[in-house]
């Protein structure tokens, strides 16, 4: 069986891992000269996003046969609304390092591959590769191929601006800022590499490249953030929906197949499910669409949540953050199997009236 994977990102590497496990070594085409991240940052996966699965590392191990090592455990969540801050303590998920270091996630995954062939500095043209291989897995992190094939619908466009900053940090804490003034309907967050270095990121919705610079300056000014900056980046990010996710011998996975959820812009878990499901479809004949239905349905649910979130005012954010700090909320949301996004959306719809919306 000849399989080509376009992109040595998370989705592509997870797919290669499962293909190898099931007996085939794919060829991976990566246009960059390295495996790893172009921009250094720390990402998170949260225990509440994929209920009924409660601990994501266990889920990866048991259901996806993926044994990944996180960089840290998320032990506190700090939510900062304009007039209210709430900090929660517990076990909320895991942090991962996205750099080019050996302990970063992509390099970690790549090092687990035994037989796959990796071609660096190789741009993968899916139409050309489709002639040469039995299957082509499009895992290139963009919607371009899905758009060309007429199977893409854009949902949310954001601009992301970020920096690596120096200061004094807690590497087990995720800090999130919610403020319409400088994120529109997005958010900003800080995750730390260690107690001296952190990644600070602003995600602003429906803005252009120039506007995001203004929003970034306003964010730093409003929150009185003066950390020295050692690296900076800016990028456009799109979330959307693809259907179907397979066309003949082409599979669309990860961001290329609409794997980014439209509420927080998270895509790690979906990239893993799509990568592994594609390999199981190729090797075991399992229906790809059926295997990823649960995560795709969840993305649709998240989109409803996103639409509602977009109508909230800063007063609404204050109320939301206050509610998160109320006794009993953490045990209900984090320590049970409750589908927080589904019921959260319903609850907010019922109670959020002006001036909160």
Ligand X SMILES: Cc1cc2nc3c(=O)[nH]c(=O)nc-3n(C[C@H](O)[C@H](O)[C@H](O)COP(=O)(O)OP(=O)(O)OC[C@H]3O[C@@H](n4cnc5c(N)ncnc54)[C@H](O)[C@@H]3O)c2cc1C
CA distances (Å), 70 to each of 56, 66, 95, 192, 322, in order? 11, 12, 6, 13, 30
CA-wise closest residue to 154 among 220, 240, 65, 41:
240
**Residue with structure tokens 């225990």?**
47
- Under 8 Å CB-to-CB from 301, ≥6 apart: which residues? 341, 342, 345
Using alpha carbons only, give the angle 70, 72, 73 rounded to the nearest 5 degrees.
Answer: 100
Output the smallest distance, CB 346 to ligand X, in A.
Answer: 24
| Position with the least CB separation from ligand X | 9
Residue closer to ligand X by CB (options 203, 282) is: 203
Q: Is 184 helix (H, G, I), strand (E, B) or coil?
A: coil
Output the smallest distance, CB 327 to ligand X, in A.
Answer: 28
Output the smallest distance, CB 22 to ligand X, in A.
Answer: 20
Using alpha carbons only, give the angle 77, 78, 83 rounded to the nearest 5 degrees.
Answer: 150
- How many other C-beta atoms can be found within 10 angstroms of the C-beta atom of residue 33? 7
Using alpha carbons only, give the angle 7, 10, 15 rounded to the nearest 5 degrees.
Answer: 80
Output the smallest distance, CB 30 to ligand X, in A.
Answer: 5
Output the smallest distance, CB 83 to ligand X, in A.
Answer: 26
H or E, element range at 211: helix 209-222
CA distances (Å), 231 to each of 163, 166, 197, 215, 225, in order? 5, 10, 11, 18, 15
Binding site for ligand X (CB under 6 A): 6-12, 29-32, 41, 43-45, 123-124, 139-141, 160, 162, 201, 237, 254-256, 259-260, 266-268, 271
Residue closer to ligand X by CB (options 238, 348) is: 238
Output the smallest distance, CB 200 to ligand X, in A.
Answer: 11
Residue closer to ligand X by CB (options 186, 259) is: 259
Residue closer to ligand X by CB (options 119, 356) is: 119
Sign for the CA dihedral angle at 145, 96, 81, 203 comes to negative
Residue closer to ligand X by CB (options 292, 352) is: 292
CA-wise closest residue to 178 among 74, 85, 72:
85
Output the smallest distance, CB 246 to ligand X, in A.
Answer: 16
Q: Is 150 left (phi over 0), alpha (psi -120 to 50) or beta?
A: left
Residue closer to ligand X by CB (options 156, 160) is: 160
Residue closer to ligand X by CB (options 8, 292) is: 8
Residue closer to ligand X by CB (options 123, 221) is: 123
Output the smallest distance, CB 212 to ligand X, in A.
Answer: 13
Query: Parallel, antiparallel, or unpaired: how do β-strands 84-98 and 197-205 relate?
Result: unpaired
């Amino acid at each position: 069986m000849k399989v080509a994977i376009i992109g040595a990102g998370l989705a592509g590497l997870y797919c290669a891992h499962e293909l190898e496990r099931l007996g085939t070594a794919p060829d991976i085409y990566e246009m960059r000269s390295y495996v790893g991240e172009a921009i250094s940052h720390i990402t998170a996966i949260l225990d509440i996003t994929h209920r009924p699965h409660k601990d994501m590392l266990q889920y990866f191990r048991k259901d996806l046969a993926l044994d990944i090592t996180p960089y840290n455990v998320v032990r506190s969540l700090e939510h900062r609304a304009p007039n209210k801050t709430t900090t929660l303590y517990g076990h909320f998920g895991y942090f991962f390092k996205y750099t080019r270091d050996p302990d970063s996630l992509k390099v970690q995954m790549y090092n687990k591959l035994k037989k796959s062939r990796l071609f660096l500095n190789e741009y993968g043209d899916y139409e050309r590769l489709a002639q040469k291989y039995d299957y082509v897995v499009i895992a290139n992190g963009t919607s371009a191929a899905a758009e060309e094939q007429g199977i893409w619908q854009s949902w949310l466009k954001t601009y992301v601006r970020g920096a690596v900053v120096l200061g004094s940090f807690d590497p087990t804490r995720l800090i999130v800022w919610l403020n319409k003034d400088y994120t529109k309907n997005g958010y900003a967050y800080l995750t730390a590499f260690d107690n001296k270095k952190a990644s600070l990121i602003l995600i602003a919705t429906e803005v252009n490249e120039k506007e995001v610079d203004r929003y970034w300056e306003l964010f730093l000014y409003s929150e009185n953030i003066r950390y020295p900056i050692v690296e900076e980046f800016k990028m456009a990010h799109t979330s959307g929906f693809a259907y179907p996710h397979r066309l003949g011998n082409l599979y669309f996975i990860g961001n290329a197949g609409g794997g980014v959820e439209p509420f927080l812009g998270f895509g790690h878990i979906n990239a893993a499910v799509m990568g592994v499901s594609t390999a199981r479809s190729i090797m075991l004949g399992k229906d790809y669409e059926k295997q990823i239905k649960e995560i795709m349905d969840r993305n649709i649910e998240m989109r409803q949540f996103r639409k509602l979130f977009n109508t909230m005012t800063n007063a609404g954010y204050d109320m939301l953050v206050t509610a998160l700090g109320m006794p009993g909320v953490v045990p209900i949301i984090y320590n049970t199997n409750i589908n927080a996004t589904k019921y959260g959306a319903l609850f907010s719809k019922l109670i959020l009236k002006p001036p909160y919306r």
